[in-house]
């Protein structure tokens, strides 16, 4: 397994005695000053984060190969031949187990929806407000939530007008089974059904026909993108699946 950012790969500590590992973030932003400011903000929100940086598509590919990454904060416009959307597509094609949160100067509806449909699990508009708004967005995604711009969350759902689910206190209010919760986590991470099936050791048909269909019914939506929007609107935290202990 690749080492995590800011960790030394040699002489790893004893696994039984090691504390829970801090989350690792790959920050992909082509402007160095903006990247430095975002890195500072990340450390304010979560001081224990392991942060590595990339200023281009190519450098980001190298860092993804070199390190074990949990989150990618990815600027859409990398001002090069390859954009952030190209990197998002690569991550999903390679089935890398990372959450990708897109960063952009705008919250254009079509762009946000395209990112979600392409496998992003969050979208932060860098111009969406003051530092407290940006800090809230970062805190949400780093704590297993989904953050989307208010301009997306306020839209009526197709075919349902202004009908909404009442705000839930937590995911527990939906009484999901552990396996459904696990599928929901992977869906919010942007993983396609094929990858979810492989991760859970079940068939792709079971993922699609049983778990995804049931989740859509629970949340009263018809598409995966609508499901992710609803999770964000409700402010739900979808916990990471607990690793199965090896015998």
Q: In this structure, are residues 89 and 118 in contact, taking their beta carbons and an 8 Å threshold?
A: yes
Q: Delimit the domains of the chain by residue range.
A: 24-153, 171-234
CATH of domain 171-234: 1.10.10.10
pLDDT for position 165: 56
pLDDT for position 198: 92
pLDDT for position 178: 93
Domains 24-153 and 171-234 share a fold: no
Query: pLDDT tens string for the chain (247 positions)?
Result: 677 665 444 343 333 433 446 889 999 999 999 899 889 888 888 888 899 999 999 999 999 999 999 999 999 998 888 999 999 999 999 988 888 999 988 888 889 989 998 989 889 887 665 677 778 888 888 888 888 888 888 776 655 444 555 565 678 888 899 999 999 999 998 888 999 999 999 999 999 999 999 999 989 899 998 999 999 988 889 988 876 544 4
Q: In this structure, are residues 101 and 79 in contact, taking their beta carbons and an 8 Å threshold?
A: no
| Dihedral Cα 99, 102, 103, 104, nearest 10 deg | 180
- CA torsion sign, 6 to 38 to 98 to 47? positive
- 24-153 homologous superfamily: Response regulator (3.40.50.2300)
155: number of Cβ within 10 Å: 13
pLDDT for position 19: 43
Locate all alpha helices (DSSP H) within 150-208, ordered by sequence: 150-153, 178-188, 193-200, 204-206
pLDDT for position 152: 86
Pairwise CA distance, residues 191 & 118, whole Å: 9
- Give strand pairing partners of 86: none
Eight-state DSSP code of residue 9 = S
């Amino acid at each position: 397994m690749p080492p995590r950012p800011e960790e030394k790969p040699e002489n790893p500590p004893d696994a039984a005695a090691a504390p829970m590992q801090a989350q690792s973030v790959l920050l992909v932003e082509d402007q160095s000053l903006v990247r430095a400011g975002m890195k500072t903000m990340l450390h304010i929100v979560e001081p224990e984060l392991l942060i590595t940086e990339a200023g281009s598509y190519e450098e980001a590919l190298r860092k993804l190969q070199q390190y074990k990454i949990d989150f990618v904060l990815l600027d859409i416009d990398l001002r090069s031949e390859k954009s952030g959307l190209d990197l998002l597509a690569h991550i999903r094609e390679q089935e890398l187990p990372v959450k990708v949160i897109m960063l952009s100067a705008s919250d254009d509806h079509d762009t946000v929806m395209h990112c979600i449909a392409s496998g992003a699990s969050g979208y932060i508009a860098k111009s969406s407000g003051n530092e407290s708004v940006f800090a809230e967005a970062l805190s949400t995604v780093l704590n297993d939530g989904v953050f989307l711009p208010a301009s997306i969350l306020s839209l009526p759902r197709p075919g349902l007008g202004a009908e909404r689910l009442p705000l839930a206190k937590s995911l527990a209010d939906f009484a999901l089974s552990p396996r459904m919760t696990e599928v929901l986590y992977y869906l919010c991470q942007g993983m396609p059904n094929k990858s979810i099936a492989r991760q859970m050791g079940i068939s792709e048909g079971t993922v699609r026909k049983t778990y995804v269909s049931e989740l859509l019914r629970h949340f009263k939506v018809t598409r995966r993108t609508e499901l992710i929007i609803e999770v964000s609107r409700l402010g739900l935290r979808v916990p990471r699946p607990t690793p199965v202990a090896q015998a």
